Amino acid sequence: MKWADYDSRACSVARTVEVLGDRWTLLVLRDVFNGIRRFADLSQHLGVARDVLTKRLSALVDEGLIKRVPYQEPGARTRYEYRLTDAGRELRPVLLALLEWGDRHRSDPDGPPAQLFHADCGAPVRVEVRCAEGHEIGPRTHLAAQPGPGSRALPVSPAGAPGPAGAPGAAGRPGAAGRLSGSW
């Protein structure tokens, strides 16, 4: 299946990948989180072609993750720096999870290139996922899924079992209900 044929409206992960699924996009966000906000500084720090950086910044602005804020050096024309929006700041746990995973699975034998600590107390930073009741959700924790209010799939039976095997979802795709129920 080609990506252009994939209906991402049925999956929040797919919709998010449409926005963030490019290496330069994630690295631009990382740098903006770290206070690198001006085009020339981003270009120099990332070593990315100017046209690629321009496209990624424009896309992030269009998606509402960063905004352009004017500034002017004395005697120079007005330029823009890029700042995170509320939606952009909400990606912090995502980037921290990528960092933590990379430190654990892609580090050099000597260890990770940097370590993060909470500035107020000095404790190492780690990403945790918890349910609304406070239970920690680990890599092997069983999660149950069911169609949400925006689902276009067939409803799940009251017992939690998906509908008939191969039953088409609302969009006519076989098995759509099965993808939205069961476990993660």
User: Does residue 155 form part of some domain?
Assistant: no
Q: How many domains does the chain have?
A: 1
Question: Does residue 147 lie within any of the structural domains?
Answer: no
The predicted-structure confidence for 72-126, as pLDDT tens digits, reads as follows: 999 999 999 999 999 999 999 999 999 999 999 999 999 999 999 999 999 999 9
Q: Does residue 110 lie in a domain region?
A: yes
Residue 148 banded pLDDT, cuts 50, 70, 90: confident
Q: Is residue 45 part of a domain?
A: yes
CATH of the domain at 8: 1.10.10.10
The Cα angle at residue 13 between residues 170 and 69, in degrees rounded to 5: 120
Please indicate, yes or no, if residue 169 is contained in any of the structural domains.
no
Confirm whether 180 is domain-assigned. Answer: no
Residue 31 domain boundaries: 3-134
pTM score of the predicted model: 0.78
112, 118 contact by CB (below 8 A): no
Q: What is the pLDDT of residue 127?
A: 94
Mean pLDDT over 146-160 rounds to 68
SS3 per residue for the chain: CCHHHCCHHHCHHHHHHHHHCCHHHHHHHHHHHCCCCEHHHHHHHHCCCHHHHHHHHHHHHHCCCEEEEEEECCCCCEEEEEEECHHHHCCHHHHHHHHHHHHHHCCECCECCCCCECCCCCCECCCCCECCCCCECCCCCCCEECCCCCCCCCCCCCCCCCCCCCCECCCCCECHHHHHCEEC
The span from the CA of 22 to the CA of 138, in Å, is 26
Question: Is residue 59 domain-resident?
Answer: yes
Handedness of CA 137, 138, 139, 142 (dihedral sign): negative
Percentage of the chain exceeding pLDDT 70: 78
For the cut 70, the answer to whether the pLDDT of residue 159 exceeds it is no
The predicted pLDDT at position 102 comes to: 96
Q: What pLDDT, on a 0 to 100 scale, did the predictor assign at position 180?
A: 45
150 pLDDT band, cuts 50/70/90, is confident
Residue 175 has pLDDT above 50, yes or no: no
Q: Does the residue 148 lie in any domain? A: no
